[in-house]
Structure 1
Amino acid sequence: MPDTTDTRHTASDPRSEAQQLLALVHALYQELNQHQSPPEPITLHTALDADLGFDSLSRAELLQRTERLFGVTLDDQTLATSETLQDLLTAVHHAQRHAQAEMAGPPSFYTGEETAAINLAHVSDTPTHVTTLQGLLDWHVTQHPDRQHLYVYQNATDIDIISYRTLQTHAQEIARGLIHAGIAPGDTVAIMLPTSNDYFYSFFGILYARAIPVPIYPPARPSQIEDHLMRHAKILQNAGVKLMITLPEGKPLSRLLRLQVDSLHAIVSVEALRHQAAPTSPPPHTHQQADIAGIGTPHADDIAFLQYTSGSTGVPKGVMLTHANLLANIRAMGKAVNASSKDVFVSWLPVYHDMGLIGAWLGSLYHAMPLVIMSPLLFLSKPERWLWAIHHHKGTLSPAPNFAYELCVNKVEESALKGLDLSQWRLSWNGAEPISPRTITAFTERFARFGFRQEAMSPVYGLAESSVGLTFPTTVRTPRIEYVDRQRMMQSGHAIPCASPHHDTDEKQILPLIGLGHPLGGHQIRIVDPFGREMPDRQEGEVEFKGPSATQGYYHEPDKTETLFHDSWLRTGDRGLTMDGELFLTGRTKDIIIKAGRNIYPHELESAVSQLTGIRKGCVAVFASHSPHAGTEQLIVLAESHHSDDDTQQQLKSQIQSLAVNLLSVPTDDVVICPPRTIPKTSSGKIRRSACQDLYQTHSLHAPQRAVWWQTVRLTGVGLWHTTKRGLGGLGDYLFAAYMWLAMITLAVPVWILVALLPSRQACWHVTRAGARALFWLTRTRLTLEGQANLPPKGTPFIVVANHASYLDGLVLAAATGCDHQFVAKAELLRQPIARIFLTKIGSHFVERFNVKQSLSDTEKMAESAMSGAPLTVFPEGTLYRMAGIHDFHLGAFQIATQQQIPIVPITLRGTRSILRDRSLFPRRGAITVSIDSPLPPEGKTWQATVALRDQARARILQRSGEPDLAKDTTR
Structure 2
Amino acid sequence: MVVAAREIPDSNLSSISSAHPDAATNWVDLLLDRSVHRQHSPVYTFLENGEDAAETINYGEFCDRVLALAARLRLHCAPRDRVLLLYPPCIDYMVGFFACLCADLVAVPLFPPRSAKHNLRIEAIARDCRPQVALYSSRRQAHRHAAIAEQPALAAMQFICSDDVALGEAAQWAHPGVGADAIAFLQYTSGSTGLPKGVMVSHANLLHNQRMLQASYQTSQDTALVSWLPIYHDMGLIAKMLASVWLGSHAVFMTPAVFLQRPFRWLQAISRYRGYLSGGPNFAFDLCVDKVTEAQREELDLSSWKVAFSGAEPIRLGSLERFARAFAPCGFERRALMPCYGLAEGTLMVSGGTAGQPLISKYVDKAELTHRRIADAAGRAGQPIVACGHTHADLGQDVRIVDEVSHRTCEAGTVGEVWVKGPSVAQGYWGRVEQSLEVFDAHVAESGEGGFMRTGDLGFIADGQLYITGRIKDVIIVRGSNHYPQDLEATVESTDPAINAAGVAAFGFRDECSDEERVCIVAEIARTSLRKVDMPALVQAIRRRVLETHEIVVSDVVLIRPSSLPKSSSGKVQRSLCRELYLANELALAYGQAPGDESMPRYAPAPAAARVAVAENG
Note if contact 2:310-2:338 (Cα within 8 Å) is conserved in structure 1.
yes
| Cα shift at 1:590 | 3.5
Matched, 1:665 2:612: no
Q: Which of 541, 549, 554 is the equivalent residue of 2:416?
A: 541
| Cα shift at 1:165 | 1.0
Matched, 1:443 2:443: no
Q: Secondary structure at the match of 1:573?
A: strand
Matched, 1:515 2:369: no
- AA of the residue aligned to 1:225: S
Aligned to 1:207: 101
Note if contact 2:84-2:109 (Cα within 8 Å) is conserved in structure 1.
yes
Name the CA distance, whole Å, in 2 between partners of 1:445 and 1:559: 49
Aligned to 2:335: 455
Distance 1:601 1:484, change over 3 A: closer
Q: Secondary structure at the match of 2:23?
A: coil
Distance 1:622 1:365, change over 3 A: farther
- AA of the residue aligned to 2:431: H
Give the structure with the higher percent strand: 2
Which digits, 9 at most, give the CA deviation of each residue in 1:812-869, with x for residues without a partner?
xxxxxxxxxxxxxxxxxxxxxxxxxxxxxxxxxxxxxxxxxxxxxxxxxxxxxxxxxx
TM norm structure 2: 0.75
- AA of the residue aligned to 2:116: E
Aligned to 1:496: 375
Q: Secondary structure at the match of 1:346?
A: strand
- AA of the residue aligned to 1:372: V
Aligned to 1:376: 256
Say how many residue pairs are matched.
504
Give unpaired runs (5+ residues) of structure 2: 1-16, 443-449, 476-484, 490-499, 527-562, 564-570, 584-593
- AA of the residue aligned to 1:174: L
Which digits, 9 at most, give the CA deviation of each residue in 1:336-356, with x for residues without a partner?
322111211111111111111
Note if contact 1:526-1:543 (Cα within 8 Å) is conserved in structure 2.
yes
- AA of the residue aligned to 1:645: S
Note if contact 1:313-1:664 (Cα within 8 Å) is conserved in structure 2.
no
Matched, 1:164 2:59: yes
Q: Which of 128, 136, 143 is the equivalent residue of 1:238?
A: 128
- AA of the residue aligned to 1:496: A
Q: Which of 553, 557, 561 is the equivalent residue of 2:432?
A: 557
Name the CA distance, whole Å, in 2 between partners of 1:225 and 1:404: 27
Q: Which of 135, 158, 178 is the equivalent residue of 2:73?
A: 178
Q: Secondary structure at the match of 1:519?
A: coil
Matched, 1:527 2:401: yes
Matches within 5 A, 1:571-970: 571-590=454-473, 633=573, 636-637=578-579, 638-639=582-583, 641-646=595-600, 650=603, 654-655=606-607, 658-665=608-615
Note if contact 2:135-2:159 (Cα within 8 Å) is conserved in structure 1.
yes
Note if contact 2:121-2:616 (Cα within 8 Å) is conserved in structure 1.
no
| Cα shift at 1:149 | 1.1
| Cα shift at 1:268 | 3.9
Name the CA distance, whole Å, in 2 between partners of 1:666 and 1:241: 20
Q: Secondary structure at the match of 2:117?
A: helix
Which digits, 9 at most, give the CA deviation of each residue in 1:307-349, with x for residues without a partner?
0003774111111000000001101221232211121111111
| Cα shift at 1:375 | 1.1
Aligned to 1:721: none
Choose 1 or 2 for highest CA Rg.
1
Name the CA distance, whole Å, in 2 between partners of 1:512 and 1:627: 24
| Cα shift at 1:602 | 12
Aligned to 2:560: none
- AA of the residue aligned to 2:383: L
Which digits, 9 at most, give the CA deviation of each residue in 1:550-587, with x for residues without a partner?
01200011121121031221100000011012111111
Note if contact 2:298-2:330 (Cα within 8 Å) is conserved in structure 1.
no
Q: Secondary structure at the match of 1:663?
A: helix
Name the CA distance, whole Å, in 1 between partners of 2:517 and 2:78: 45
Which digits, 9 at most, give the CA deviation of each residue in 1:430-454, with x for residues without a partner?
1111111110110011111111111
| Cα shift at 1:377 | 1.4
| Cα shift at 1:124 | 6.2
Distance 1:124 1:524, change over 3 A: same
Q: Secondary structure at the match of 1:398?
A: strand
| Cα shift at 1:183 | 1.5
Aligned to 2:554: none
Distance 1:177 1:569, change over 3 A: same
Matches within 5 A, 1:127-206: 127-155=21-49, 156-180=51-75, 182-206=76-100
- AA of the residue aligned to 2:378: A
Give the structure with the higher percent helix: 1
Q: Secondary structure at the match of 2:280?
A: coil
- AA of the residue aligned to 2:409: E
Name the CA distance, whole Å, in 2 between partners of 1:486 and 1:312: 28
Name the CA distance, whole Å, in 1 between partners of 2:78 and 2:518: 44
TM norm structure 1: 0.48
Distance 1:147 1:590, change over 3 A: same
| Cα shift at 1:474 | 4.0
Aligned to 2:159: 267
Name the CA distance, whole Å, in 2 between partners of 1:447 and 1:237: 47
- AA of the residue aligned to 1:660: A
Q: Which has the higher contact order (CA 8 A, sep 6+)?
A: 2
Q: Which of 264, 274, 277 is the equivalent residue of 1:397?
A: 277
Note if contact 1:537-1:581 (Cα within 8 Å) is conserved in structure 2.
no
Aligned to 1:321: 201
Q: Secondary structure at the match of 1:533?
A: coil
Q: Which of 478, 492, 496 is the equivalent residue of 2:358?
A: 478
Deviates more, 1:171-180 or 1:189-198: 171-180
| Cα shift at 1:177 | 2.6
Name the CA distance, whole Å, in 1 between partners of 2:525 and 2:410: 31
| Cα shift at 1:633 | 4.3
